[in-house]
């Protein structure tokens, strides 16, 4: 007898047992959505915080009429020091431009002020401006430095202006608009 002719013996097979479906015929239970409310709250708070930081970084650096040197002598007045108080400023050498974390341009101007007046200066007021190619003012600021400059000494105050990322200045303008003596 050959292998093909042998009867096949099999073990008895049990019928499959039915497995009940847990959700069959029952109402579907809603998931707890409290974690979604927390995520939404955190997202709203993050948007407000980022918006506030962007506003602080891009707001105008000066409000009109803000920051003037008290008791200053102005150009055209009788006591104006004229060429005895020399301000040297070359935008190509005395100014730097960089980009801050928000993508805004930050220009720092460092003029050299030489005091040949014979008196100690204890306050300077500058008007700084960044201009576009047509000569229109993009940003401007009045800067007050109340540091002392003794006679025959120099100082280099740092004056910063912020510009939006889409409007880099083409020209810089800086002028002395007030001086106060000790």
pLDDT for position 60: 65
Higher pLDDT, 20 or 181: 181
* Domain containing residue 152: 82-181
pLDDT in tens, 60-75: 665 544 578 888 999 9
Give 39's strand partners.
none
Asked, for residue 48, whether it belongs to a domain, the answer is no
Q: Residue 79 corresponds to which tokens in the numbers above?
A: 């006591």
Residue 24 falls inside a structural domain: no
- Our count of domains for the chain comes to 1
In a domain, 103, yes or no: yes
Q: Is residue 146 a part of any domain in this protein?
A: yes
Per-residue model confidence (pLDDT) at position 14:
79
CATH no. for residue 103? Answer: 2.60.40.10
Helix, strand, or coil (residue 27): coil
Any idea of the CA torsion for 35, 41, 45, 46, to the nearest 10 degrees? 40
Average pLDDT over residues 80-90: 91
pLDDT value, residue 65: 45
- What confidence tens digit (pLDDT) does each residue in 87-105 have? 999 999 999 999 988 888 9
Assigned domain for 45 exists: no
Mean pLDDT value across the chain: 85
pLDDT digits (tens, 9 = 90+) for 7-52: 666 777 777 777 666 655 556 556 677 788 889 999 999 999 999 9
Please tell me which residue, 142 or 3, carries the higher pLDDT value: 142
The single residue listed with the structure tokens 């003012």 is 137
In a domain, 131, yes or no: yes
CB neighbours of residue 24 within 10 Å: 6
pLDDT above 70 coverage of the chain, percent = 83
Quickly tell me which residue has 């008791």 as its tokens: 71
With 50 as the cut, is the pLDDT of residue 153 above it? yes
Question: Does residue 6 belong to any structural domain of this protein?
Answer: no
Answer whether residue 65 is part of any domain. no
- Which residues, in sequence order, are CB contacts of 173 under 8 Å at separation 6+? 127, 128, 129, 130, 131
Cα dihedral 126→130→136→140 (10° resolution): -50
């Amino acid at each position: 007898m050959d292998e093909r002719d042998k009867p096949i013996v099999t073990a008895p097979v049990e019928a499959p047992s039915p497995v009940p479906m847990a959700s069959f015929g029952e109402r579907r239970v809603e998931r707890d959505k409290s974690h979604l409310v927390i995520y939404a709250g955190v997202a709203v708070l993050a948007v407000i915080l980022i918006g506030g930081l962007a506003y602080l970084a891009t707001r105008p650096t000066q409000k009109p009429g803000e920051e003037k040197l008290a008791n200053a002598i102005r150009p055209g007045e009788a006591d104006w020091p004229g060429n005895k108080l020399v301000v040297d400023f070359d935008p190509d050498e005395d100014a730097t431009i960089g980009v801050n974390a928000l993508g805004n341009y930050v220009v720092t101007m460092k003029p050299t002020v030489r005091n040949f007046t014979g008196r100690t200066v204890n306050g300077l007021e500058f008007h700084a401006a960044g201009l576009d190619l047509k000569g229109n003012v993009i940003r401007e600021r009045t800067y007050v430095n109340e540091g002392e400059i003794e006679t025959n000494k120099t100082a280099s105050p740092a004056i910063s202006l912020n510009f939006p990322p889409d409007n880099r200045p083409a020209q810089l303008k800086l002028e002395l608009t007030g001086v106060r003596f000790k």
